[in-house]
Amino acid sequence: MLVSEQGETVRIAAAGDIHCSEENRERVAAAFDEIRGRADLVLLAGDLTTHGEPEEAAVLAEVVRGFELPIYAVLGNHDWHSDRSDDVTVTLRDAGIVVLDGDSAVAEVRGVRVGIAGTKGFIGGFPDSALPDFGEPLLRRVYAETTREVKAVAAGLEAIADCDIRVVLLHYAPTTTTLEGERQTIWAFLGSDRLAEPISEHHPHLTVHGHGHSGTFEGFVGSVPVFNVAVPVMGRDFFVFELDDEGRLLTAETDRPQKAAHRAET
């Protein structure tokens, strides 16, 4: 494993649910401008557009074209809404954004290899409210879709196993610990604990997701820190995580959004 001799740290700016459209172009541009010099790479945890229209994706593409930092993203449910996800993906990739869809990527930051396993994730619920692999074919297809996403997380983590820092990038939540604050009646539509299985097995250093706008910023899957980086939860446009070259999270507790603070933003 490659480890920086200088004891380098890596700063990762993360956000989800930025919901780009022409109406918020200026805010999005200002948000990216603000993290220049504060981060080494950017993670976008889905819902990059408002309704999944390529024109909305073009707003983000135009903002980040030529941006100095590498950007990695997954799509969210909003990005699929108009059934034009392929066009959205092409638009974003043409601007230099690495859109992950069940695969992985590696960024090198001052000699530290940062691996990102990225996929959208899907629904399915959590203990006591989980969708079973039983019943109508349509429901079983939903279960099968989540299975594909779980396998994608596992494959992505296997591909980055030799990286110094390993990150999982999702849209849907793999744990209820970051959904506290959302109505429990909709938790089944906000994620699935099945997504946690490969996280528990492979122990990445960091997992980020979005989607749960009224959830909680910080949670966990076993010993793995999980963060809900949806903009309404954070109450800010980006949160910058700092990790050392062995993947230990250095971000101070006092720097993290507080639950009471983000409630006012939702």
Helix (H, G, I), strand (E, B) or coil at 72: strand
pLDDT confidence of residue 252:
57
What digits encode the pLDDT tens for the residues 231-245? 999 999 999 999 999
Look at residues 117, 176, 180 and name the one whose alpha carbon lies nearest to residue 150: 117
pLDDT band at 1 (very low <50, low <70, confident <90, very high): very low
Label residue 94 by pLDDT band (50, 70, 90): very high
Q: Assess contact for 168 and 208: CB atoms under 8 A.
A: yes
Dihedral angle sign, alpha carbons of residues 18, 22, 26, 30: positive
Q: What's the pLDDT score for residue 253?
A: 58
Average pLDDT over the chain reads 93
pTM (two decimals): 0.94
Name the helix (H) or strand (E) containing 174: none
For residue 170, give the nearest of 144, 130, 132, 199 by alpha carbon: 199
